[in-house]
């Protein structure tokens, strides 16, 4: 099975469509949260997830846009974009987002979470020490997470007390080793923050037990134009072209 792993779409439909067309055929889609917030097309992005995602979880911006967590936990620009995103949501899209949990045990091998296993909504899992601590919080071999908007992974061999962080190259395939545990962040579709403005995603191949990391260029200026028309904050518009 080819499983498309997406995170942090953030209402960026142009980026999402570029990813869906570059990904080719897939058998399932797992969405790691923050489908909305920041960007200009929340309904269209939710509708594509409703259509394609077998597994979907919620993120901090989804919850804020739904009015389920305190907006004061966000900086003023993010807060403004969350309020705007929430105000745009059609009832059926709100109803789809509303019950999503922040993490799901998919099966014995895989866990999906937005932030981290120990703090599914808020923790940014970026450092090896955090990965080591978080491996204690779940039994599965592999955890897919989003939230940091950085395409990366951590691996820890059984018996080791240290985790190794790796930054994947585009098109690189990671073969999963049965005696190693992993954290995998596919990166952000709609607002990458690793100095690469291209949309990020990953493809899990369960037949080969491998994960391939991808980047795809999209029309950033089209999303920026839409954001300007919606009156979204200038800093959120500018950051897309730098990938920050």
Residues that bind Zn ion (CB under 5 A): 8, 34
- CB of 134 or CB of 185, closer to Zn ion: 185
Q: Smallest distance, Å, CB 139 to Zn ion?
A: 26
Residue number, 176 or 190, with CB nearest to Zn ion: 190
**Residue ranges of the alpha helices (H) in the chain?**
13-23, 42-52, 60-65, 76-88, 91-97, 128-135, 220-229, 234-242
DSSP 169: P
When the beta carbons of 8 and 123 are compared against Zn ion, the nearer one is 8
Q: Please name the residues in contact with 193: beta carbons below 8 A apart, sequence gap of 6 or more.
A: 148, 149, 150, 243, 244
CA distance 197 to 14: 13
Judged by beta carbon, residue 34 or residue 123, the one nearer Zn ion is: 34
> How far is it, in rounded angstroms, from Cα 236 to Cα 244?
10
The nearest distance, CB 96 to Zn ion, in angstroms, is: 18
Q: How far is the CB of 193 from Zn ion (least distance, A)?
A: 9
CA atoms within 13 A on the CB side of 37: 29
Question: Closest approach of Cβ 190 to Zn ion, in Å?
Answer: 8
Residue nearest to Zn ion (CB): 34
CB 5 within 8 A of CB 202: yes
Could you tell me the strand order of the sheet in which 142-145 lies? 103-105, 110-113, 142-145, 180-185, 152-157, 164-166
The CB-of-10 to Zn ion minimum distance in angstroms stands at 6
How far is the C-alpha of 159 from the C-alpha of 72, rounded, in Å? 42
Q: In the complex with Zn ion, which residue's Cβ is closer, 153 or 192? A: 192
Give the Cα separation of 103 and 145 in Å (integer).
Answer: 9
Q: How far is the CB of 37 from Zn ion (least distance, A)?
A: 7
Q: Which is nearer to Zn ion, 168 or 187 (CB)?
A: 187
Q: How many beta carbons lie within 10 A of that of residue 18, not counting itself?
A: 19
Give whichever of 3 and 236 is closer to Zn ion, judged by the CB atom: 236
| Residue 55 · residue 32 · CB < 8 Å | no
Shortest Cβ distance from residue 192 to Zn ion (Å)? Answer: 11
């Amino acid at each position: 099975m080819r499983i498309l792993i997406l995170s942090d779409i953030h209402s960026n439909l142009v980026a999402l469509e570029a990813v869906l067309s570059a990904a080719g055929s897939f058998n399932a889609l797992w969405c790691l949260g923050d489908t909305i917030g920041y960007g200009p097309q929340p309904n269209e992005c939710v509708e594509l997830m409703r259509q394609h995602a077998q597994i979907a979880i919620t993120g901090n911006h989804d919850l804020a846009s739904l009015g389920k967590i305190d907006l004061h936990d966000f900086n003023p620009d993010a807060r403004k974009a969350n309020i705007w995103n929430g105000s745009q949501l059609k009832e059926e899209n709100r109803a789809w987002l509303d019950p999503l949990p922040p993490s799901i045990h998919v099966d014995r091998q895989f866990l999906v979470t937005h932030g981290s296993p120990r703090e599914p909504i808020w923790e940014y899992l970026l450092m090896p020490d955090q990965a080591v601590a978080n491996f204690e919080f779940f039994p599965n071999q592999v955890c897919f997470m989003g939230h940091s908007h950085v395409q990366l992974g951590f691996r820890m061999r059984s018996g080791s007390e240290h985790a190794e962080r790796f930054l994947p190259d585009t098109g690189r395939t990671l073969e999963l080793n049965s005696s190693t545990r992993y954290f995998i962040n596919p990166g952000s579709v709609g607002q990458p923050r690793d100095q690469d403005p291209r949309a990020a995603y990953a493809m899990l191949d369960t037949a080969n037990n491998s994960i391939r990391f991808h980047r795809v260029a999209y029309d950033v200026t089209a999303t920026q134009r839409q954001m300007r028309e919606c009156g979204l904050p200038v800093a959120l518009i500018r950051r897309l072209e730098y990938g920050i």
